[in-house]
Amino acid sequence: MRKGVAITAVLASILAGCAPGDEYAMSRKDAYIKLAGLTIEPSQKAPFIMLDQPVHGNGLNRIVFGAEDDAPGFGCVANLSELAPEKTKIALNCHGAAGDGASNGMAHNMLRDRLIELIDATLTDRAYDPEKAGSTASRWPGDGVDGSIGGAVGQAMKMDADMKRDMRELKAQAEESQREQAVSQPDGGQGYDPSPPE
């Protein structure tokens, strides 16, 4: 019984000291300076892999990685909030197409996870490691995009159903057009001479 109480107390004290993954023990100004100063070169290990994504900010609390919200292409916006003088929270929301079709959500989350790893590595003064992207990002809240395999399968099934519906509609339109043509030309257009009578 005492072991159970001791283990529970140790776990509780460890968990009490754990801040959410998107909170950092530094001022918003310091976090902004570190993140706005990033340069992301395209490479297989870079957060956006081979995509050339610029980094720019508003000078205070917003940093854009890649495309702006209203621009075409993939991008992420980090909004920095000061929770205390030496505590900053980062909300990271990504937008735009990261992949094609059903795989878009999976590609979106993969790129977002790699960017979270870069942000975390930068703010904790450690080397960026894309192999840690999943575990680092798991401590952050999501941004509402379903990047699961189940989501991709569901999206693929929806796309298939939409395509079959569109094909049925096109076939029905073609059949209707043929019926209208048959009514307007009872002989099916055979023997019709378009030249004016003499």
Cβ(146)–Cβ(105) under 8 Å?
A: yes
What are the beta bridge partners of residue 57? 63
Measured distance CA(95)–CA(100) in Å, rounded = 14
What are the beta bridge partners of residue 77? 64, 93
pLDDT value of position 21: 84
pLDDT value of position 161: 65
Measured distance CA(57)–CA(134) in Å, rounded = 26
Q: Which residue has the higher pLDDT, 110 or 2?
A: 110
Q: What are phi and psi of 14, to 5 degrees?
A: -65, -50
Buried b (16+ CB within 10 A) or exposed e, 2-16: eeeeeeeeeeeeeee
Q: What are phi and psi of 105, to 5 degrees?
A: -65, -40
pLDDT tens for residues 115-154?
Answer: 999 999 999 999 999 899 888 988 988 776 655 555 545 5
- Assign residue 59 a region (left: φ > 0; alpha: ψ between -120 and 50; beta: otherwise): left
pLDDT tens for residues 65-78?
Answer: 887 767 667 788 99
pLDDT value of position 149: 54
Measured distance CA(67)–CA(75) in Å, rounded = 4
pLDDT band for position 14 (cuts 50, 70, 90)? very low
pLDDT tens for residues 2-12?
Answer: 555 445 444 44
